[in-house]
Amino acid sequence: MKFSTISDLEIKEVYTADDLKNVDLEHDLGRAGEYPYTRGIHETMYRGKPWTIRLFSGFGTAHETNRRYQLLLEQGQHGLSVAFDMPTLMGIDSDDPRSLGEVGKCGVAIDTLQDMEILFQGIPLDQVTTSMTINGPAMVLLAMYFVVAEKQGVALSKVGGTIQNDILKEYIAQKEWIYPPRPSMRIIQDMMVFCTRDVPKWNTISISGYHIREAGSTAAQELAFTLADGIGYVQAGIEAGLDVDEFAPRLSFFFNAHSDFFEEIAKYRAARRLWAKIMRERFHAKDPRSWKLRFHTQTAGCSLTAQQPYNNIVRTAIQALSGVLGGTQSLHTNSLDETLALPTEFSARVALRTQQIIAEETGVVNAVDPLGGSFFVESLTNTLEQEAKTLIEKIDEMGGIIAAIEKNFPQQEIARAAYHYQKQLEQKEKIIVGVNKYVQTEEESIETLYIDEAIQKKQVAALKKIKQERQDASVREVLEQMKQAARGKQNLMPLMMEAVRRYATLGEMCEALKTVFGGYTEKAVI
Amino acid sequence: MTRPLRLLLSKAGLDGHDRGIKVVARALRDAGVEVIYTGLHQTPQMIVTAALQEDVDGICVSILSGAHLALIEQIYEFLKKNKMQHIPIILGGIVPEEDFKKLSKMGVKKVFTPGTSLKDIIDFVKSNILPQA
């Protein structure tokens, strides 16, 4: 019988010192807080600073989501993480015909500045950090957030947080885009330049493997495609005229915590080592902060089952533990009901408590990189690094990640891996408890959050009111200026903030840029 | 000999989760079904137009965003306009149980939720959708 990881990487019966013959303990491992950071980016890791507990949340209108945020903060969550609904993610308004049935469903609906003002009502933006999962229209939402800070009297230099803004993985995996890849990169360059100068505590891109993994990639593919995207962004920053050490410290990463415990831990450790080498050797970064791969982790949504849903609490706890043992900087734990719907207050609380139990009961935070030196973990770390490196070299040969995306390379590799895993499930070579083994015919049913269809009517009515109250001519004027800037080289960010102040809608702003940049359709391949 | 079964597979609405539909598309193709995959972000009208042009025996729609009730209802409106309401629809995605009845009343033949095996999908399709003469 073959023993292999969930990514089908073959594992030997036992690992010994022989497996680490080629490892230079001094240089390849070193100490936490030292190059190449295999053991962690901080010398004291969780003794000095616990990871940030950050639960991704958003649904309905801004009113409902604001209430959930207040509750999460009261219960001991550290930072906010905004989930937007599908129309917002695609850059269209709630009253657009394409938004039918989607408003407020898998996140909060945002059309204008007013929604963002409500979303952060009573939450001082100099006291929390916020992560926003938004990509295609990222610049619009970032502009809205900064204007909310402005209205609260908070200086932009004091505003901290992260915007996902990783458009490359949208083409690869998550598939929510507005413009074609190259103009999208220009928008990101404008944001990088603006934030580097005016919002120094803002993380401008969260380079995400999470969605790549959810789309069915292996662990090594997740690692490789994510770091290849990272290379793409660093090149873009340099091409925009920034010095690498000016912006690289504000790039962060976001990985999946899947079910194969040791493979995941090895993945995080390999990621740090590989990125440190890329930044130092390839991009000649000199500031150690540019070498450090900081990352957020989310447990694997795709591993959760609708069958026997309470088992998901156990899966999530074990996955979260791998993130912690792998040295994550922040963590989202999924709720048990997320294959069925958005989480209820009850299920979100269990997810939060899961992290608190790991942090405060288990003792795993006491020692830095507790698995460092394990023959198995070190050997697996090397294997993942090597596999990822080979894939990154292949992408380099294709002319970089954008060229690879245009050739459908990562997309096809992921689809192939997803199908391979599904076939292994059908053959019971891989097991999902409650799905292809230990199946129960009588399923327990659980209560889930139901988003009322009336939400859309409410949101559309509020949007209509704003459109009546604002000065249309001044909105049109700034939208025209944005188009002009898009045709030339002027930074779009200040104009976007001005449009936001005048209550232009998300859809109007994205549509204005689309007239210049064009849209994007993916070639449908299986 | 009858011609092979011809199915349209489509991602409706704004949802970009295409892992499931791509896996199902490959599995159906390997099982001898002629698969026409429309790709992402299809409106109800686009789906019905594609079904008409491709002369398919059934439509398989994937929606993981929660917008299934509104979208499926619209698909049926367009099917009726084109006198195509006899074409069976199968839905895959994250669908709460309380919506099953409403969907079946609209005409949906079957809803497959996460965790369904490929074999179950193939068996269902082959025994419930017949190639049109």
Residue A443 has pLDDT above 80, yes or no: no
Nearest-Cα residue of chain A relative to residue B94: A340
Residue B2 has pLDDT above 80, yes or no: no
Residue A78 has pLDDT above 90, yes or no: no
- Greater confidence (A358 vs A446) lies with A358
Region A324-342: mean pLDDT is 94
pLDDT band at A317 (very low <50, low <70, confident <90, very high): very high
- Answer whether CATH 3.40.50.280 is correct for domain B6-128: yes
Secondary structure class of A67 (helix, strand, coil)? helix
For residue A133, the surrounding DSSP H or E stretch is strand A130-133
Cα–Cα distance measured from residue A159 to residue A321, given in angstroms and rounded to the nearest whole number: 30
pLDDT band at B1 (very low <50, low <70, confident <90, very high): low
Q: Which two tokens stand for residue A329?
A: 């900087």
List of residues 6+ apart from A389 with CB closer than 8 A: A224, A274
Region A302-317: mean pLDDT is 96
Residue A524 to residue B38, Cβ atoms within 8 A = yes
Question: What does the DSSP 8-state code read for residue A361?
Answer: T
pLDDT band at A448 (very low <50, low <70, confident <90, very high): confident
| pLDDT number for residue A526 | 84
| pLDDT number for residue A171 | 97
pTM value is 0.95
- Chain A residues whose CB is inside 8 A of the B37 CB are 524-526
Residue B15 to residue A432, Cβ atoms within 8 A = no
pLDDT in tens, A262-279: 999 999 999 999 999 999
Cα–Cα distance measured from residue B18 to residue B11, given in angstroms and rounded to the nearest whole number: 7
| pLDDT number for residue A26 | 84
- Residue A303: closest CA among A347, A352, A266, A260: A260
Place of tokens 């402005």: A150
pLDDT in tens, A164-183: 999 999 999 999 999 999 99
Percent of chain A at pLDDT exceeding 70: 100
Region A186-210: mean pLDDT is 97
- Chain B residues whose CB is inside 8 A of the A419 CB are 22-23, 26-27
List of residues 6+ apart from A130 with CB closer than 8 A: A79, A80, A81, A82, A120, A145, A161, A162
pLDDT band at A342 (very low <50, low <70, confident <90, very high): confident
Region A129-137: mean pLDDT is 96
Cα–Cα distance measured from residue A141 to residue A178, given in angstroms and rounded to the nearest whole number: 14
Tell how far CA A406 is from the center of its chain: 22
Closest partner residue to A426 among B43, B71, B117, by Cβ? B117
Closest partner residue to B23 among A86, A340, A422, by Cβ? A422
- Chain B residues whose CB is inside 8 A of the A450 CB are 96, 98
Cα–Cα distance measured from residue A363 to residue A6, given in angstroms and rounded to the nearest whole number: 27
Cα–Cα distance measured from residue A502 to residue A114, given in angstroms and rounded to the nearest whole number: 11
Q: Which two tokens stand for residue A483?
A: 């188009």
Residue B22 to residue A450, Cβ atoms within 8 A = no
Residue A68 has pLDDT above 80, yes or no: yes
pLDDT band at A107 (very low <50, low <70, confident <90, very high): very high
For residue A205, the surrounding DSSP H or E stretch is strand A205-208
> In this structure, are residues A440 and A308 in contact, taking their beta carbons and an 8 Å threshold?
yes
The mean pLDDT value of chain A amounts to 96
Secondary structure class of A521 (helix, strand, coil)? coil
Residue A89 to residue B94, Cβ atoms within 8 A = no
Percent of chain A at pLDDT exceeding 90: 89
In chain A, what are the domains? 17-426 (3.20.20.240)
| pLDDT number for residue A1 | 79
Residue B39 to residue A106, Cβ atoms within 8 A = no
Residue ranges covered by each domain of chain B: 6-128
Residue B118 to residue A426, Cβ atoms within 8 A = yes
| pLDDT number for residue B82 | 96
Sign of CA dihedral A110, A114, A118, A119: positive
| pLDDT number for residue B133 | 63
